[in-house]
A and B are shown apart, each in its own frame.
Chain A
Amino acid sequence: EIVMTQSPATLSVSPGERATLSCRASQSVSSDLAWYQQKPGQAPRLLIYGASTRATGIPARFSGSGSGTEFTLTISSLQSEDFAVYYCQQYNKWPPGTFGQGTKVEIK
Chain B
Amino acid sequence: EVQLLESGGGLVQPGGSLRLSCAASGFTFSSYAMSWVRQAPGKGLEWVSGISGSGGNTYYADSVKGRFTISRDNSKNTLFLQMNSLRAEDTAVYYCAKGDYSILSWLDPWGQGTLVTVSS
Closest chain B residue to A98, Cβ basis: B47
Contact between chains at B95 and A44 (CB < 8 Å): yes
Residues of A within 8 A of B111 (CB): 43
The reply to whether the CB of B60 lies closer than 8 angstroms to some CB of chain A is yes
Is there a chain B Cβ closer than 8 Å to A107's Cβ? no
User: Does more than half of chain B's interface fall in helix, strand or loop, or is it mixed?
Assistant: loop
A100 CA to B43 CA, complexed, in Å: 11
Q: Given A55-B108, A91-B105, A94-B50: A44 and B45 within 8 A (CB)? A: yes
Query: What separation, in Å, do the CA atoms of A34 and B112 have in the docked complex?
Result: 19
Q: Is the interface of A mostly helix, strand, loop or mixed?
A: loop
- In the complex, what residue of chain A is closest to B93 when comparing beta carbons? A43
Given known A43-B113, A94-B50, contact A99–B44 (CB-CB < 8 A): yes
Known: A43-B95, A99-B44, A99-B47. A91 touches B106 (CB 8 A): yes
Tally B residues with Cβ within 8 Å of A: 23
Which A21-71 residues have a C-beta within 8 angstroms of B? 32, 34, 36, 38, 42-46, 49-50, 55
Task: Find chain B residues with CB under 8 A from A32 CB.
Answer: 104
Residue of chain B at shortest CB distance from A38: B45
Q: A43 to B109, alpha carbons, bound, how many Å?
A: 9
User: With A95-B61, A96-B59, A96-B61 in contact, do A46 and B106 touch (Cβ < 8 Å)?
Assistant: yes
B110 interface contact, C-beta 8 A? yes
* 16 contacting pairs across A/B (C-beta < 8 A): A34-B107, A43-B111, A44-B37, A45-B109, A45-B110, A46-B106, A46-B107, A46-B108, A50-B106, A55-B108, A89-B47, A91-B106, A94-B59, A97-B35, A97-B47, A97-B50
Interface residues of A (CB under 8 A from B): 32, 34, 36, 38, 42-46, 49-50, 55, 87, 89, 91-102
